[in-house]
Chain A
Amino acid sequence: MLHRGMKVKHALSSDQLREVRAGKKEVRDRKGNRVGLEGALVEGTRLYINRGEPDANVADSP
């Protein structure tokens, strides 16, 4: 469950956050656009963590 006003980083696990901060992985939206960790989440946002092609669903915002 994510609250209104939360950001992309809040949707990730600690391990995922560490990998993204280290530049090993990137967070992308459903259109494949890269998004920053401080990006705002809005209702219905779906995020993916990958290095290229979308692979795993990370989180749905409320």
Chain B
Amino acid sequence: MRTRLPAILLSALFIFIALSGCRNESTRLTILHINDLHGHLEPFKENDKEGTSVGGMARIATLVEEVREEIESIGGHVILLCAGDILQGTPMSLVYRGEPEIRTMNLMKFDAMVIGNHEFDYGQENLRRLMGLASFPIISANILTTSADKPAGADYIVNTYGDLDVAVFGLTTDETPVSTHPNNVKDLEFLQPVEIAEELVPVLREKADLIIALTHLGFEVDERLAEEVPGIDIIVGGHSHTKVDSAVHIGETLICQAFEYGIFLGRVDLIMQRGRVIESRNMLMPVDNTVKEDPAISALVSDYSTRLGAELEKPVGSTSVRLDGERTSVRNRETNLGNLVTDAMRAFSHADVALTNAGSIRASIDKGEITTKEILTALPFGGQLVTLNLTGRQLERILKRTASLAPGSGGFLQVSGLSFRIEGKEAIDVNVVGEPLDEKRSYSVATNDFLAAGGDGYNAFKEGTEYYNTGLKISDVLMDYIGARREVGGQVESRIVKR
């Protein structure tokens, strides 16, 4: 005799089956991200706060492993991403040019990184070297190369996590050519990123359930990307060094960014069902001295740090005379160190003239061997070499300002490629490249980014045209200049004559 199940039991059975089916279709996915590390592999003090250190790759690695354990233990998946600019910002980055960054990222099993503008600062060959060293893809969809030997990352990657296909595509700021030396981007074309995304996203929609744009564009451009290109689920951004505490929703797109220097690890938790995001939340995980250091990453970074100490003490060249960077000298008159620094700037940039403010020079260099450490002590502020065009009239205004400054001002200029006399508070008899200054002529000028932005009251710089930032610190440029010549000798040459 057949027995019919009571209706209530049947209902319960159907509900159970239905719920079981839903749970099986849900996928838990967590995205972890950093951006704009700029060589900050070691913990550091933010704003000189006593006892507080932030950042450090070894701490980030610990947090990553904790999240991996948490999410994978419940059947979920973790994706670890970097939104560009791992290079340029610390002596370690200067000396090792990204090698320790990539090696730590390999150990941490990053899934992808987008090319940032500063990845070009040490040249395309260096970027190619780093891409070969990385065990993860370094991507960008909007950099066009015209030569087979130029670095060209893949446009995107597609990986499968459980039953979920995830596409990650990269976008690099098209401002890169104005933020690095032209040689660094030779034969490269940076296409408009939003236009490229418009073409690419529909293609990726056919290949993946979830689309992540890994961008180095800046937060405001990320917003524009979300507004103009439907179909992107998550934008993980960088370049603007924005601390996005609560991810911004534009349409169906979530935008996030994790500030700078590894001070935070960004985390986006997603619950996906039938290929769609049904729930999301995000947070910034602080990387500070409450987080233990991963021993393997810590050992790797320490090894580089120890070797760095020795590297910084190595001579890059020598000087036959003491190079005068004393405050009372460099802020009041021409000095041989001021001449050496500005000569190096002019030589690198091939500009007509080079100008730097005395306040950027903070120490002398003794006669004999010159070490990297001494150069970094003499030029400690990290001012970057920029070039722009100024008219003779604008140059005159700049020299007039330097002539009119009170004694001991950090705004007093050291110069190369020109000479002038200071009488009273006027600059007269200005010669540029051996000829009298022509007010109407356009001159190429190398200076630092502080002055170019109108620092020390030099407003005329802001009127310049054809501005670009080489991406290199002036200390880098000086190091290369001395290294190429092995021995330098500086003297005062009557570039600035005071009566």
Chain A: residues with CB nearer than 8 A to chain B? Answer: 1-11, 14, 21-23, 29, 31, 33-40, 42, 44-45
Q: Which of B218, B241, B453, B463 is the one whose CB lies under 8 Å from A42? A: B218
Do A34 and B242 touch (CB < 8 A)?
yes
List 14 additional A-B contacts (Cβ < 8 Å) besides A10-B449, A45-B220: A3-B467, A6-B453, A22-B48, A23-B46, A23-B49, A29-B240, A35-B242, A36-B36, A36-B241, A36-B259, A38-B36, A38-B260, A39-B241, A42-B220
Do A3 and B388 touch (CB < 8 A)?
yes
Contacts of B453 in A (CB 8 A): 2-3, 6, 9-11
Contact A3 to B218, CB < 8 A, known contacts A23-B49, A33-B242 = no
* B28-84 contacts to A (CB < 8 Å): 36, 38, 46-49
Q: Chain A interface mostly helix, strand, loop or mixed? A: loop
Contacts of A9 in B (CB 8 A): 453
Chain B: residues with CB nearer than 8 A to chain A? Answer: 36, 38, 46-49, 89, 117, 173, 175, 178-179, 218-221, 239-245, 248, 259-261, 388, 449-450, 452-453, 455-456, 462-464, 467-469
Do B468 and A34 touch (CB < 8 A)?
no
Q: List 13 A-B contacts (CB under 8 A).
A: A1-B462, A3-B388, A3-B462, A5-B178, A5-B468, A10-B450, A10-B452, A14-B455, A22-B47, A23-B49, A33-B243, A40-B173, A44-B220
Do B259 and A34 touch (CB < 8 A)?
yes
Residue of A nearest to B179 (CB): A5
Which of B38, B245, B469 has its CB near the most chain A CB atoms (within 10 A)? B469
8 tightest A-B CB contacts, nearest first: A23-B47, A36-B241, A39-B241, A10-B453, A3-B467, A5-B178, A36-B260, A34-B243
Residue of B nearest to A22 (CB): B47
Do A42 and B240 touch (CB < 8 A)?
yes
